[in-house]
Structure 1
Amino acid sequence: MNRKIFRRVSAWKILLWACLSMLGGMLLAQLALTVAELRHIDASSVQALQRAEDAARATGQALRRAEASPFDHCSEADLTVLRNITYANSYVADLARIDQGKVRCTALWGKLAQPFQLPAPHYQAGPGFDIWLRQEIVHTHSPSNLVALRRSLALTAPTTFDLNRFYQDVSLRITNGDGTRVLVEREGIRYNPAGAIGLLPAVDVTHCNSAMALCAQATARLHWYPVLYPLGLLAVLAGSFVVGALACLLHLRSRRHHSVLDRLRHGIANDEIALMYQPIVCISDRRLKGYEALARWRPADEPEIGPDIFVPLAAQNRLSSALAKAVLARALREMQDLLQADPTLMLAVNTEVADIEDPDFIRFALNLTAPLAALRPQLHLEVTERADIRSTTFTHNIELLRRAGFAIWIDDFGTGSANLSHLSYARFDGIKIDRLFTNALSTGSPLRQVLPNLLRLADELDLQVVIEGIESEEQLQLIRSIAPDIHAQGWLFSKALELAEVLQQRPSSANDELGLAA
């Protein structure tokens, strides 16, 4: 029932995260579009101001060159000079000569049969420059801004503010420095109001050049992403939905991992790590020689959790030492009386390399057993080797424990990283051979030839041996024929026992044959 509720809650969480992610994706898409459009409007204003500055400089230079003409005004030579200046300047549509307020001739039209009377200038810009705005003079096709310097007159080109096509969707206004005169006003020729709605305002961006008394204002209405890019919106929503769902799954997984990790910390601290005891017997006559303590995590009001889950979890999150302390303390507490009653009885406790390298664990083991130092030789610490053991700390601590009386074994010998090379780095009292070799005895596996060599090597090095995984009489007889003096454990002799079963089925004499059925 709890799992169904958890799954239902998880499904709602995933859906909620996905929907929120879709909303966030849409908001981010709108924000990205808005930022891009603001930059676009700003760039339009900057480019327009740059164009106005260039046009003002070019027009001023053209008028100064025209004033420097050495020829009589409106003479053929003078008109040739004006034409050359006009053709070389992309911001000037025509150059003219004025006398007593009248246009007498232009570079493009020559001498005018009827001089054109200019009205009073609209304003003055800088020293000596008169400005007319949107003034139409004879022979011109459209109103144009006029700039005069003494007796020379320039007509600005109508293409002066034809900006890059990228900016043609923005409306532009070029004004004088104080904004009282509009020099050029242009609507965005590609402005698309269908993509903009009243929710989003129009934006004005103005840049000015105080030295040249010019300002450029760019204006555009911001667009609404769903209207402007409907297919893009669908893609954003779909992508955001997937991202949100995946993020929620990762969050739930991480939360579950941390929840289990917190529960494991709590379980270690609150004695939730229970022990079962796997008997160890002599191969020759099945006499009981000791037990291996096997940890089981039994949280309150929850199903038991096997060591294949919590032991690696503890090792990966630096809880291995705390777990080893809890197991060692409980094993000694529960089996103390049996060990004291039978000095030949061994009790094997699993440890990790990290535990042996941890000085706090070494202190704990020594302090815990200090009142019962006589029992230390009966305590066999089996090092479960999951990584290479070549550190000086490990070797030093192994020797420290052995001098204190503990017996040190290599667990799962012959598999993984636990191999012959480790026997040259530290002194051990025994090896435990993995069930992999036991299973190979009754098959055609090449490993069948390895076991006798391992047992011969152990005998030459004076190492005690326990072989795991004996499940059949055939396996027992094969091993007995090879090495009758070693110890073994397996379901052929007994399953792992609860403490109550150990105490109930304990033989009255250590020399009695183990009377436990598999």
Structure 2
Amino acid sequence: MAGKRRKSIQITAVALLGLIAGAGLGFSLGLLAAVRTAQFLLTDYAHELVHHAEDAGTEFKHVVDTLDHSSDGFCSDRELTTMKALTYRSVQIKDIGRMRDGMLYCTSVAGRLPKPIPLKPPAMVTTFGTAVYSGIHPYISPQDTGTILGHGSVNVLLAPYMLERWLRPGMDYMVVTMNTHTGQMTQIGGKHFPVSEQWVQSEGRMERADALLISRCSKINAMCVVTEEKKSVAKEHSSPLLWGFTLLGGAVGCAFSLAIAITLSLRHSLPQQLRRAIRRNQLTLMYQPIVSLDSEQCVGFEALVRWQDRDGMSVAPGIFVSIAEERGFIGELTTWVIKRAFHDMRELLATDRRLQLSINIAPADLANEILLETLEACAVIEGIQPEQIAIEITERSTTDLTKARSAIHELHQHGYKVHIDDFGTGFSSLSYLHELAVDAIKVDRSFTRTAGTEAVTAVILPQILSIAQSLGLEVIVEGVETDNQVQFLRNADRSLRAQGWLFGRPMPPHLAMDFVREHPGTYLHASLEQTERPDA
């Protein structure tokens, strides 16, 4: 009896030891898989940022080549006009300057300077001969610091946050310029990481006590990118993977458990989460009012899509829309937005046929015949008139002028309005507006912020309004947040529409009717008084 009891205890002890050892091995393998997954995502992120940094280098080279081969006089009116056009068409460049003997004589934004300004010696010169000036206080914004790239008598001021639009949750980055001959390195963007020049040039990976780092360098210019993710963030994102390995455990199930963990990690990635959210109707739409500045009457709403990931964290629209574009399912997202927006706003749009609903689409949607089919089907189902729908496209959508013009013409033939969103920040020029035959432009909030101030860029907004008026275009000003901005816009001596937190923040559809009640206008007041108030 005692022997059987002892044997039972031994078997139980061995089983417990095996369970503990298997759980420990499973946890270790799970942690390793989490690190590998984080390294893969960091590497992918580094490659993406290098690609966008190369775009900045390409723009810089184009500016240098254009001005070096120009026959216009140094800082002449014609050359300043060329410099302004180059700056306007650039995404990563905020200003272009001309130098002689270390002195700055003119810039595209400020024009000819009253007195030449000396530049301090460059922090470094890259292998390609580009001078890099870091920590410079730019002439157009002396209170800030920025980075200038120079070659010969041409220099450019880079956008201070040129890669911020491609941020990924939980990850940070650093952008540097290198000289592979001298081993020099200068940071020009992002968060500072204490890493050596040799490690950055090696394009290696590093595991520290608290973080994972990856380095990748461009093959066509002297820029390198370092990406970082804290281990605590990687562990938090990979907790299901770690528990899966721990429970499965054991030497026999290691290979199988690893395959399952990789599958789960891929399944829980952000693109996969977004695609499932679209198909499961887990996104939401908010509606920001658009008002007439003359009467402060509500004239429409813009549909804004919102999404929370599986951890309940809000993901910025700029991030998940970019993911949908890169992974090729932006059409699914746009179709979902159109169907949901038409359904949400059908009662309000039927109450007053002069209200307008604005819907954003991606560049790929504009050339997709499914867009028009979806619009037509939803308009019939929900009883909405095409004239009440404004399709908002970005300037990036107009880079292929022929295709853009054809798509806009087809939308117009079916009664839909077309607006250019965030005007002034993209690739097109004002001359394109007449050829595209759009109905309105939405002035980007970056210009609104300078309205009525002494900022150098404050002169741009009145110029945009003047040209839009000459072309017969309606203007919607985004980002209106102060009374001073409203007063400035009202002094423009033309009818404008406005959108911003001063008039109303994005709201759920059931509050849109309440907002219209509070901003009715004479023609709408009577009909709304007879309409039953929706549930809050």
Which one has the largest radius of gyration?
1
